[in-house]
Amino acid sequence: GAGVSQSPSNKVTEKGKDVELRCDPISGHTALYWYRQSLGQGLEFLIYFQGNSAPDKSGLPSDRFSAERTGGSVSTLTIQRTQQEDSAVYLCASSLRKTPSDSYNEQFFGPGTRLTVL
Amino acid sequence: AQKVTQAQTEISVVEKEDVTLDCVYETRDTTYYLFWYKQPPSGELVFLIRRNSFDEQNEISGRYSWNFQKSTSSFNFTITASQVVDSAVYFCALSDHGGATNKLIFGTGTLLAVQP
C-alpha cells in the first residue's frame, strides 16, 4: 500500500520567501507528526495533529512556522520569511493513534523535504 | 525531561565484524517505549524495533539484536557479521506511554560505515 508521501522532495528558496511543504499521510491514519532534521539540532519534533487539530505545537521554533491539516488527511507546513537556519530536512510521519488512551501505534515516516534557504 | 544520548557519533568497521551501537535514555515516566530507526543514504527513516519499558527481554532478529537494561537506562543495538548494506545512520528514540502525543525524542544518531 501507499506510504507517507511528501512534496516537494527538494526546495531551494531565497531568504525572506515563504515556503509550503506538503504531507500526505497513510490513508486512515489519524495522527500526523512533523519533525525537522538539521545538522545542528538533529531530529526534533515540531508539531502533532490528531485529526485536524494540533494539541501539541511545542516544537515549532518560532511564529514564522505554522501548520494545518484538512479533512483529517493532508497537512501543510508553512514557513514564512525563511531564514538560512531553516535549512533542514522536514520529515512527516503518520500513525493510527486515535485517542490519548490508545497504546502506542507505530509512526511511519515519509521521505522528507530537503529545504535549502540561500 | 526526556533525553536520549547516543555517544558514538561515527563507527567504522570492516565487513563481517560485529558492532554495537549504544543508547542511553532519561525519562521520569514509569511506562515508556524505546525505538531504533535506520536512516540509509536515501534518507527515509526505517523502523527497526519498539520495546515497551515493561519488557526487558532481549530480542534477536536475524543479525540484529537488542539489549534493554532498565538498571542502566540503556537500549543497545548489536549487528552481527555486519554487511555493507548496514551502512546508515542509526537513531535511538524514546516516547512516553499514554501521553497526549506519543512524539518521539531522538538521539543524535550514530553513523555506521561498513567497509568491504
pLDDT at residue B86, rounded to an integer = 96
pLDDT at residue B73, rounded to an integer = 95
Question: Is B90 part of the contact surface with chain A (CB cutoff 8 Å)?
Answer: no
Q: What percent of chain A has pLDDT over 90?
A: 78
Q: What is the 3-state secondary structure (H, E, C) of chain A?
A: CCCCEEECCEEEECCCCCEEEEEECCCCCCEEEEEEEECCCEEEEEEEEECCEEEECCCCCCCCEEEEECCCCCEEEEECCCCHHHCEEEEEEEECCCCCCCCCCCCEECCCEEEEEC
Yes or no, beta carbons of A42 and B107 under 8 Å apart: yes
Average pLDDT (A106-112) is 91
Backbone φ and ψ for B71, nearest 5 degrees, come out as: -60, -30
Of B44, B47, B104, the CB nearest to A111: B44
pLDDT at residue A17, rounded to an integer = 97
List residues of A whose CB lies inside 8 A of any B CB: 31, 33, 35, 42-45, 48, 55-56, 59, 89, 91, 93, 95, 97, 100-101, 103-112, 114
Residue owning grid cell 510521519? A93
Average pLDDT (A96-112) is 77
The torsion region of residue B74 among left (phi > 0), alpha (psi -120 to 50) and beta comes to beta
Taking only the tens place, the pLDDT of each residue in B18-49 is 999 999 999 988 888 999 999 998 888 999 99
Question: Is B111 part of the contact surface with chain A (CB cutoff 8 Å)?
Answer: no
Taking only the tens place, the pLDDT of each residue in A14-32 is 999 999 999 999 998 999 9
CA distance A76 to A95: 17
The CA-CA-CA angle for residues B20, B22, B28, to 5°, reads 150
To the nearest whole number, what is the mean pLDDT of chain B?
91
Average pLDDT (B48-62) is 86
Average pLDDT (B13-20) is 97
Is the pLDDT reported for residue B98 higher than 60?
Answer: no
Q: Which of A41-50, A67-76, A101-110, B5-14 has the lowest mean pLDDT?
A: A101-110
pLDDT at residue A1, rounded to an integer = 56
The torsion region of residue B48 among left (phi > 0), alpha (psi -120 to 50) and beta comes to alpha
Question: Is B1 part of the contact surface with chain A (CB cutoff 8 Å)?
Answer: no
Side chain identity at residue B93, one-letter code = A
Closest-CA distance of chain B to residue A32, Å: 10
Residue pair A107/A91 in contact by the 8 Å Cβ criterion: no
Nearest CA in chain B to A103: B98
Closest-CA distance of chain A to residue B98, Å: 5
* pLDDT category of residue B97 using cuts at 50, 70 and 90: low
To the nearest whole number, what is the mean pLDDT of chain A?
91
Closest-CA distance of chain A to residue B23, Å: 15
Question: Is B101 part of the contact surface with chain A (CB cutoff 8 Å)?
Answer: yes
Q: Which of A7-11, B100-104, B109-113 has the lowest mean pLDDT?
A: B100-104
